[in-house]
Amino acid sequence: MQLDGKTPSGPLQNKWDKYRFETKLVNPANKRKYSVIVVGTGLAGSAASASLAELGYNVKTFCIQDSPRRAHSIAAQGGINAAKNYPNDGDSIWRLFYDTIKGGDFRAREANVYRLAQVSNSIIDQCVAQGVPFAREYGGMLANRSFGGAQVSRTFYARGQTGQQLLLGAYSALSRQIAAGKVEMFTRRELVDIVIVQDKARGVIARNLITGEMERYAADAVVLATGGYGTVFYLSTNADSCNVGAAFKAYKKGALFANPCFTQIHPTCIPHTSDYQAKLTLMSESLRNDGRVWVPKNPEDTRQPNQIPEEDRRYFLEEKYPSFGNLVPRDVASRNAKEMCDAGLGVGATGYAVYLDFADAIKRDGKDVIQRKYGNLFDMYQNITDDNPYETPMMIYPASHYTMGGLWVDYELQTTIPGLFSLGESNFSDHGANRLGASALMQGLADGYFVIPYTIGPYLATNGVSDITESHQAFRDAARKALEQDQKLLAIDGKQTVREIHVKLGKIMVEHVGMARNATGLKQAIEEIQSLREDFWKDVKVPGTASDYNLSLQKAGRLADFLEFAEVMALDALERDESCGCHLREEHQTEENEAKRDDDGYCHVAAWEYDGYGNTPKFHKEPLVFENVALTQRSYK
């Protein structure tokens, strides 16, 4: 298969304008003849539904939660990037583009990333117009703070609740269209299959989570904005309901899955303490603006942190990376924390934690200032750990947080299945091998508000209005198969709970497909995943029935997908025999333990094609071409 990213020709700065000028438009009066399904109501899905409906399309929107505004985007804390350059500290669209390409370790498409930087400023304008309460300076200008991997302050924020405020903005735009009758909202629905007729996406099968019924919905195009797959690690900063299901169903129907092994491990999370934990809580990266990361110099040091004097502390990020200090990118900060803990310098009950200390910032700026910036995060930390971070340093450790891999999409955000689009965290498009902080919210809203409204038009205009309805045989077959899978899961009646098996999968993934990987470990992971998958299908216990609200059944279905998908992740990590960004192959490191890329061998997107249950998927490459930036070794020193 030849992968065509459909990047427009011409100078980088003009590509998006050129695309928009040359693209086929749908006449305003004709838009009301088309229907579009949008799955997901996070920032990407809500923004897309609202914008498409505002244009005149008829939209059907789906989400798992009881309300669109409970989508996982609500958890985002720290902020959203844009190249406004309000602080006048040297930012520009070009710099945001460059930082993002470099942050991703040169494993993303130039044209997509440049477009992201270009539309970033419109996102802020749009959100301000909606009333999103961004933090402001004394004089009324929007405030900015710094995030890792950048030497300018370009992150807009609403305290530690930026995602919540942005989602309320998108949700109000969505609600306006629901009230206008242009969006039909289906909550408590889970996509369980995508219906393809004559090679085009024509609709979805959604389980009604309250009644268990398999419902059929047809449309002219389908947009997936179903988020990331970080919960494959079981413990992560993601919401419990985050899953790979929709993207994986698309993959099984022929959409290619790109770079599945690129997952971001976030350095500042509340550490794992017991097997009873269901999730790990993020402490936003914004805290690294003021918090200093350190460990005791002496592994035997058992003193309380406040009793350890300066000369006995090791501020390892500041020492090793003087230019960026505590604000190095997430992959670098995470690996260094792990290195310290592996060397026996970690703190806390398990020895797998480092300190994040605000004493200097409180002394310098006063407690009030710190409270205004991060109050809700400090409260959250205290509620969970019973420690007061104003008085004693936080303890933090890296955890799975974000997934850069996702459905392969071209410049139009279309997958390899015509009529099936993918937005936000569910696609692979913009972050390469590492995502810089505050860039996911930017991408989700860029895709939803500013890209898909243009790029869906040519597909619809070319293909016309579909005459396929829900009574088509393909819909009936897909609904029947989904029901059969439910019955199969319920009939196993084994001894292990879904959670027990998911915990086992998480352990395999953390051990072998986590922060550092090597060929032996990855091969072992593949064998272990295969055998766990067999166990699951023989021994899982799913109580209840398929005809009411059955959380165990929902989770079992999601775990079944993870047990197949995890193998593709490990395979992708094994195939990529280089280090880049988050993907540290232990065999390929510089003398200073930094990721060592192999641009001759691996400067490509790896895209996997499903080839039947239990078979090794087919591998495809999309070569990455860099015409505007030089590929350099990332250095944050």
Ligand X SMILES: Cc1cc2nc3c(=O)[nH]c(=O)nc-3n(C[C@H](O)[C@H](O)[C@H](O)COP(=O)(O)OP(=O)(O)OC[C@H]3O[C@@H](n4cnc5c(N)ncnc54)[C@H](O)[C@@H]3O)c2cc1C
Active-site annotation holder among 107, 330, 335, 435 = 330
The nearest distance, CB 605 to ligand X, in angstroms, is: 19
β-strand 155-156 against 354-357: which pairing, if any?
unpaired
Judged by the rule CB under 6 A, the positions of this chain that interact with ligand X are 39-45, 62-65, 71-73, 75-80, 162-163, 189-191, 225-228, 237-238, 242-243, 245-246, 282, 401-402, 424-426, 438-441, 444
Cβ–Cβ under 8 Å, residues 189 and 64:
yes
What are the distances in angstroms from CA 7 to CA 19, 46, 110, 175?
A: 9, 26, 9, 34
The nearest distance, CB 137 to ligand X, in angstroms, is: 20
Would you tell me how many other CB atoms lie within 10 Å of the CB of residue 487? Answer: 10
Cβ–Cβ under 8 Å, residues 532 and 525:
no
Nearer to ligand X, 361 or 438 (CB): 438
* Integer Cα distance of 443 and 482 in angstroms: 32
Nearer to ligand X, 188 or 604 (CB): 188
The nearest distance, CB 423 to ligand X, in angstroms, is: 7
The nearest distance, CB 295 to ligand X, in angstroms, is: 24
Q: What is the number of H-type helices and E-type strands within the chain?
A: 18, 21
Nearer to ligand X, 72 or 159 (CB): 72
The nearest distance, CB 46 to ligand X, in angstroms, is: 7
What is the DSSP secondary-structure string of 242-254?
--SHHHHHHHHTT
- Identify whether 576 is a catalytic site residue: no
Instruction: Quote the tokens at residue 39.
Output: 């799955």
For 280, phi then psi, to 5°, come to -110, 135
* Integer Cα distance of 98 and 100 in angstroms: 5
The nearest distance, CB 178 to ligand X, in angstroms, is: 15
Enumerate long-range contacts of 22-29, CB under 8 Å, 24 or more apart: 23/454, 23/455, 23/457, 23/458, 24/457, 24/458, 24/461, 24/462, 25/457, 25/461, 26/457, 26/460, 26/461, 28/55, 28/56
Nearer to ligand X, 186 or 316 (CB): 186
Instruction: Quote the tokens at residue 348.
Output: 């806390």
Edge-to-edge, what's the strand order for the sheet holding 189-197?
189-197, 200-208, 214-218
Beta strand residue intervals within 543-635, DSSP E: 584-585, 604-609, 618-623
Q: Which residue is nearest to ligand X (CB)?
A: 42
3-state per-residue secondary structure call for 167-183 = HHHHHHHHHHHHHCCCE
Nearer to ligand X, 162 or 579 (CB): 162
The nearest distance, CB 539 to ligand X, in angstroms, is: 25
Nearer to ligand X, 37 or 525 (CB): 37
The nearest distance, CB 104 to ligand X, in angstroms, is: 14
* Integer Cα distance of 592 and 95 in angstroms: 27
Chain-centre distance for alpha carbon 141 = 30
Beta strand residue intervals within 444-526, DSSP E: 516-517
Nearer to ligand X, 12 or 206 (CB): 206
**What are the catalytic residues?**
330
